[in-house]
Amino acid sequence: MIYSEKVMEHFANPRNVGEIENADGVGEVGNAKCGDIMKMYLKIDGGIITDVKFKTFGCGAAVATSSMATELIKGKPVEDALKLTNKAVVEALDGLPTVKLHCSVLAEQAIKAALTDYYKRQGIDPEPIVGKVPDREASCGI
């Protein structure tokens, strides 16, 4: 299996690993295909994602995609994070081997789950904004 240099680099050196105390949104999802788990923490101020951290029990591709996904949404408006797709994350990493594409779904779903939590905490129905976030058992994208 061939990984791009960017994937290897983000795997060896993942950005934004950890957790945020007093996060404004926390999401946890699982990958139905492999059982791996991803937890995402967001700090949101005035509609801007000021900080983001993740923790995972996941494979190298899940670590690399989450690292890249956090870099793509940090400092950005919530609307940008809502639009982030696993495809965009994979492209930013110069691709993933086909058999590892399902791993990139974890990052996108974890961000959506964290945003769902963020809206719920404010008493806003998240579903019209975020859409339906699959539960842990059904979160595999393929």
Residues at the contact surface with ligand FES, assessed by CB under 6 A:
31, 34, 36, 58-59, 61-62, 100, 103, 106
Shortest distance, CB of residue 34 to ligand FES, whole angstroms?
3
DSSP per-residue letters across 16-53: SBS--TT-SEEEEEE-TTT--EEEEEEEEETTEEEEEE
Nearer to ligand FES, 16 or 56 (CB): 56
Nearer to ligand FES, 7 or 78 (CB): 7
Shortest distance, CB of residue 59 to ligand FES, whole angstroms?
3
Our answer to whether residue 103 is catalytic in this structure is: yes
Burial classification of residue 140, based on how many CB atoms lie within 10 Å of its CB (0-12 exposed, 13-18 middle, 19 or more buried): middle
Cβ distance 65 to 90 under 8 Å?
Answer: yes
Nearer to ligand FES, 40 or 44 (CB): 40
Which of these is catalytic: 17, 34, 59, 82?
34
Our answer to whether residue 59 is catalytic in this structure is: no
In one-letter notation, the amino acid at residue 36 is: D
Which of these is catalytic: 23, 26, 89, 103?
103
What is the radius of gyration, based on Cα positions, of the chain? Answer: 14
Give the residue among 34, 69, 28 at the shortest CA–CA distance from 52.
69
Shortest distance, CB of residue 47 to ligand FES, whole angstroms?
30
Active site residues: 34, 103
